[in-house]
Structure 1
Amino acid sequence: MNNIWKGWIIDKSLEDISVLSKLKVIRSDTEENTEGNEKQIWELYTVEIEDKEIYKISKILEKIIKPEWYAHFTDGKVLLIIFYKKSFKIRLDKVGKERAFGISEFKAKLEDKKIWQSAFEYGTKEGKVDPRYFLKVE
């Protein structure tokens, strides 16, 4: 049996949304986010990818995801965070509860906490991701 990865991708995070047609979309939700006087509306796609395809899809996403965004996937044992030009794999002890807008809390294996720290630093500095919207990894 193939291992399945579940992931969450926001349409506005992509330079080219045609990649979504290559993925098995299992859910789509509209989310509104208001900061100050600015209101943004986007679609959050929950997708499934077979293990044999995850590397290829991650390399495509690294090229088309905008620098201030990220996408993330998990197979229940590993967290894959994809930024513009770079991805990080973090082995997990625990996966948080899935909510309407995905899973955002994870517990990394002790030996992978440095990888998480590198991912956070890359995402918030090189990637320009606002730390308030970053995943929570213990």
Structure 2
Amino acid sequence: MKKRSVLLVVLVLVLISTFMAGCAPKNAADEWKWTPGKDEVTYKSTAADEWSPTFTVYVKIVGGNDTVLYDGKVTLTSPQMMASEFLSAAISEKGLAQEGLDVGFITKVGDYENDSTNNVYWMYYVNGAMPNWGTNEFRLRDGDYVKLAYEKYQQQ
């Protein structure tokens, strides 16, 4: 009789936890994800060889006034897989001028240039978080989301 009661309690707890998990709100950790647009570029690094991996990353570049400059996939073959390589491929695909990407601190994309007077800068995010490294030092993984945004800097 005692085994039956314990089994019944365990079964009820499993059912309750299953029900609660199914009713949970959307994971707040995924709010940074977006549905990628139709832009698409494939690029092979000059340093790539036959053993270099190929990754696809979702890239969104947003200029001033929320002007979308690129929104879609970048497929890259490279031994490095740095964020700067993916961003460079997207920027080049759109024929935009850029400054600073090669050193990891982007100062200009297209007509949008860093503005220290108004505290507006190019900032990048990987999977919703701002990395502590420049774009030329941050390695991406297959399926990552990268957003480069021209926005007002606010210390946290």
TM category (shorter chain) comes to under 0.3
> Rg larger in 1 or in 2?
2
TM-score by length of 1: 0.25
More strand by share: 1
TM-score by length of 2: 0.23
